[in-house]
Amino acid sequence: ENRWRSFHFWHRQRLGAFPQHLHDYVEILYICTGESTCTVDMTLYDLRAGDVLFVFPNRIHAYGKPMCDVENYALLFPNSIPVFDETFAHFVPECPVLRGAVDADTARLFAAAEAERAREDSAYLKGAFLGYISIILSRLLPKLRLRPCVPEENQLERRLIEYCSLHYTERISL
């Protein structure tokens, strides 16, 4: 199992299926072209070009197999970004999908973050990503309808997944 504590960014031409999982960082998926499906907290959502998916920390989610190529940007980062950390700690989206939320300026921010990632010589890459992520969040988070987090939500499923994550090298019985 990969456990990351830094910023991760991908620009992909395909979106693969991925089984249910959870993690303690924030995941943002911007669909540029194509269509796919995702499940967040046991609810199925369709994803189309221009949509943005927000997966807050510790939310069970999965990706379905797309019917065609799906160009996308994926951002994964710790939930401890200043200014936004309280939002990620105490709220969840009513609906994690923002329909057609990316305007031309925001699309350029995703592209600029990709260009910065390509500059492997940058000693300040983490700072640059923090800047791009902060601006992207500043543009997109106000469009989400948030509600307070209820700690008991999906408690059984979360406990099962956490147990399997901790004991996956051992024999696990029912």
Q: Map residue 35 onto helix, strand or coil.
A: strand
Is the pLDDT reported for residue 164 higher than 90?
no
33 alpha carbon, distance to own chain's centre? 17
Distance CA 118, CA 30 (A): 19
Return d(Cα 127, Cα 147) in angstroms, integer.
Answer: 30
pLDDT level of residue 172 (50, 70, 90 thresholds): confident
Phi, psi (rounded to 5 degrees) for 169: -85, -5
Using CA atoms, how far apart are residues 111 and 106, in angstroms rounded to an integer? 9
d(CA 131, CA 6): 14
For the segment 48-93, what is each residue's pLDDT rounded down to a tens digit?
Answer: 999 999 999 989 999 998 878 999 999 999 888 889 999 998 999 9
Cα separation, 51 vs 105, whole angstroms: 15
Residues 109-153 have pLDDT tens digits of: 999 988 887 776 667 778 888 899 999 999 999 999 999 987 665
Considering the entire predicted model, what is its pTM? 0.85
